[in-house]
Structure 1
């Protein structure tokens, strides 16, 4: 593998340490390997990761498949195995050519119009089939390999004879044991020596019910892996110093899931026969099969199992199936640990770039590391890789360091939409992320984005959900497509992915005044709901979204002005927690207005000094916490001054207010 290959930001541990570990062959031997799966929402860099791996491994046997291209979403495992064998069986420098005699014989039988109702006719047709197909693997080298394996016995045209070919097919395969075959395919011949009958049964059951078809796929996968094991054994296999690699993009499709299931099933039935195949797949949805080996997981949000277990409060108390992060690779693959500790799956979650990663990406666009732009991108996108790249390409040529507000103005500039109309970059990016949702579901998500967490999806009287199946399917789709995150302040609750929610809120803000669920109406309903249920801070959150600064200031002034009540450390902690909750409220403020001018407009007039200070602090924080509200940080001095002013004479709790002020120095 080239040592100077470019490596994507945020996944260096995958393109480096992980792939090298999986491809290695300690002592020249195969060992149990997991199927590595990179999970992530749309735009999280999954396809780019596989392309990078393909480039790094261009000199070893490899194959790259995208299940969303070439109409492969519904491809059967047996068909895919043929495509993989074709790519892996090419001539590879040091590695030579890998032959797949067992697989091709199975494929030949499956593709033939075999008469399964008459055994004698079927046998005659199969004999003719092998004699007529020259060469069996469409390359001379593989046919010679087959002939050598059967001891040179042939029957015309240098092709292996019928009995010898079927002996070859069965000899090295794990499914030679007829008793185990009985558990795979119903009514499979159990007597020894019935090789022809065995092939006929494969052809017959390949067109049976779902269980039979899955069993045949597993058998053919056995043949594929057996051919690989043979290719990496003996003298010819000694020069193959690295495993071969299969890259499966968009494996969340039916074709992808069926293939991964067949591969895992085949490996499960041969625990003592390791193969030299490394599989790295990507998926943007959760696969229920993974829950079997990630036993620490009880259920993921939205699963039927979880809803049955906890019907009263379906978004709390969940054990989220947390895949590993790229940063965990180094410690997960420490030499000396058992090689099979991740079998059969090793799940990695992509989609969150660190601030350092964003700096690296910005540097490629000639953006200085100390520039305000990388920090702005991290806050705006929550490190979503696709968003960072898309926004950076737009801002890198328009950003004016002397005028930070150009960061905001560029994103609101009208662009030509896909339908020929006008839109904004943010709106276009939102449509891209939501393309897996129906039109009705998109509108419901826009409405639901107003709420603090996704619990609101279960209150149809507030959001007027139009889904005839109820709120469950939409919640489950969000969970399965990885758009839910545990609330950092309350891990028992789940919220929308911050970047998706930010985009949805922009669409909510753009709804017209006569829309039945516009910004005002939805936030009012949410506020009243939380007020009724005693969640006062959440209610004030929506008040601030409604620009009702008076209600927020009145509420926050109570602990600061209560007579004979000490503002001690616990009180200060609780007050700051409420301040953080409330000022995280979304806004629909004027896009091109100066931040300080907007603060002046919304603060209003107050008689008391305390109320005035709190009002300035609340509104300034409200804008500053929105990446698009004050990208230049012009309000930091106002916020710092506000905290210091409130701390004067507040008792022991004032220490926490002074500490918070230092963040904005």
Structure 2
């Protein structure tokens, strides 16, 4: 990431939260950071700034829940895993074998089959992807998705997504990791040493809420394994993640979730917190989300920003601005650990110095003096005033504030 003092406040907060653990130290619990601000405060722009700062050095992916059609956790996980599983600089590709196995299990049509027949069908299906000879597994996966759409297990939109993403996830995983992933499902949520296909059959027949939490647990387990395997690039490398005195350390991976105040976003975060509660080992996944409204579920641990300290109920804590937020503030001083999975934080206007750096001008220039405020609005006013002021071609803000392309193989 670029130097923290050159970053907008929320992007600097992301840099401070990037540190995960010392090279040989234990994992620590990660917050779900929710950036709060009204319409026009620059929430989406801020996530783009964070993504641009992560670049190709920090593993990250994003999702926007502001959609005209409803989405479910399966779709979100498939998109996130597909974006995360690309080739990262000096790291290789993450593997999402457990999630791929879970997605295959839940979309296999087992209706009207008794227990033994259903297990046999699952075994036959997974043999297509775990045997030594699997030249046509892409065709097999697409046929499986088509059958699931015909059986109304998936809608057409989800079918198109899985036909594109699932072959990539299976191919990136490889045969042996898929076999280990099947055994992992056999131990989740309860050990089933006799036959893991009993567990996969249970997953197939779970209602939506239990199924989604299970798939999220698989997603988090894949991230723990892949981050451990790919984190060698972090050790001894130069970075500005707020821990300069600890050169040998590992970074978090980052999820950037926009508009989580939409019902689908709220449900995804609920499922994520539930999945984390059922796992003893912490995951290296930093979630940074945006919301345009306060969530009453954050109370009484967090006090709404419009209430004074006297009006809040103990042990309510004050919601801080990005400039004053950090991991220790979220974690608190309780020996039991962080008291709440969410960390609401207020977005704030830019200072004069931050505005000048964002626009690539001097602090005493008319542009910096007149165009301050929320970063997104500041940029819009700067573009609109192009006849009066010109931005220097070599402004360092380009690398920090541009939103990277979302296509596979892009820089961010």
What TM-score do the two structures reach when normalised by structure 1? 0.44
The one-character-per-residue Cα deviations of 1:51-92 (angstroms, maximum 9, x if unpaired) are 1221222223221212225x5x62211221122122222222
d(CA) in 1 for partners of 2:2 and 2:348? Answer: 26
Local SS of the residue matching 2:251: coil
CA drift at 1:128: 2.6
The question of 1:327 aligning with 2:336 is answered no
d(CA) in 1 for partners of 2:4 and 2:344? Answer: 27
d(CA) in 2 for partners of 1:354 and 1:277? Answer: 30
Correspondence for 1:562: none
Correspondence for 1:225: 220
Pairing partner for 1:275 from 283, 291, 306: 283
d(CA) in 1 for partners of 2:362 and 2:232? Answer: 49
**Does the aligned pair in 1 maintain the 2:302–2:318 contact within 8 Å?**
no
The question of 1:369 aligning with 2:386 is answered no
d(CA) in 2 for partners of 1:265 and 1:197? Answer: 23
Correspondence for 1:45: 42
Correspondence for 1:146: 177
d(CA) in 1 for partners of 2:86 and 2:381? Answer: 41
d(CA) in 2 for partners of 1:231 and 1:288? Answer: 35
The question of 1:345 aligning with 2:362 is answered no
Correspondence for 1:67: 65
CA drift at 1:367: 7.3
**Does the aligned pair in 2 maintain the 1:39–1:285 contact within 8 Å?**
yes
d(CA) in 1 for partners of 2:379 and 2:87? Answer: 37
d(CA) in 1 for partners of 2:63 and 2:89? Answer: 22
Local SS of the residue matching 1:285: coil
Correspondence for 1:108: 104
- The 5 A counterparts of 1:16-35 are 16-18=15-17, 20-21=18-19, 23=20, 25-27=22-24, 29-35=26-32
d(CA) in 1 for partners of 2:26 and 2:117? Answer: 44
**Does the aligned pair in 1 maintain the 2:34–2:345 contact within 8 Å?**
yes
Correspondence for 1:176: 190
Local SS of the residue matching 2:325: helix
**Does the aligned pair in 2 maintain the 1:35–1:343 contact within 8 Å?**
no
Correspondence for 2:268: 259
d(CA) in 1 for partners of 2:251 and 2:327? Answer: 22
Quickly say closer, same or farther: Cα 1:40–1:390, change in 2 above 3 A: same
Quickly say closer, same or farther: Cα 1:34–1:25, change in 2 above 3 A: farther
d(CA) in 1 for partners of 2:287 and 2:83? Answer: 14
CA drift at 1:117: 5.0
CA drift at 1:266: 0.9
**Does the aligned pair in 2 maintain the 1:352–1:384 contact within 8 Å?**
yes
d(CA) in 1 for partners of 2:28 and 2:34? Answer: 18
Local SS of the residue matching 1:27: coil
Local SS of the residue matching 1:121: helix
**Does the aligned pair in 1 maintain the 2:301–2:339 contact within 8 Å?**
no
Quickly say closer, same or farther: Cα 1:257–1:266, change in 2 above 3 A: same
d(CA) in 2 for partners of 1:318 and 1:334? Answer: 18
Correspondence for 1:99: 95
Local SS of the residue matching 1:248: strand
The question of 1:216 aligning with 2:215 is answered no
Correspondence for 2:86: 90
The question of 1:124 aligning with 2:120 is answered yes
The one-character-per-residue Cα deviations of 1:389-422 (angstroms, maximum 9, x if unpaired) are 44454457469xxxxxxxxxxxxxxxxxxxxxxx
**Does the aligned pair in 2 maintain the 1:246–1:280 contact within 8 Å?**
yes
Correspondence for 2:301: 295
Please provide the CA RMSD for this pair.
3.9
**Does the aligned pair in 2 maintain the 1:64–1:247 contact within 8 Å?**
yes
- Corresponding residue pairs, total: 333
**Does the aligned pair in 1 maintain the 2:96–2:173 contact within 8 Å?**
yes
d(CA) in 2 for partners of 1:236 and 1:295? Answer: 36
Q: Which runs of 5+ in 2 are unaligned?
A: 130-136, 142-165, 235-249, 390-412
Compare relative contact order (CA 8 Å, sep 6+) and give the higher one, 1 or 2: 2
d(CA) in 2 for partners of 1:16 and 1:258? Answer: 27
The one-character-per-residue Cα deviations of 1:202-252 (angstroms, maximum 9, x if unpaired) are 2222xxxxxx3212111111111122223344x676556423221111222
Q: Which runs of 5+ in 1 are unaligned?
A: 151-164, 178-190, 206-211, 303-315, 400-665
Quickly say closer, same or farther: Cα 1:265–1:386, change in 2 above 3 A: same
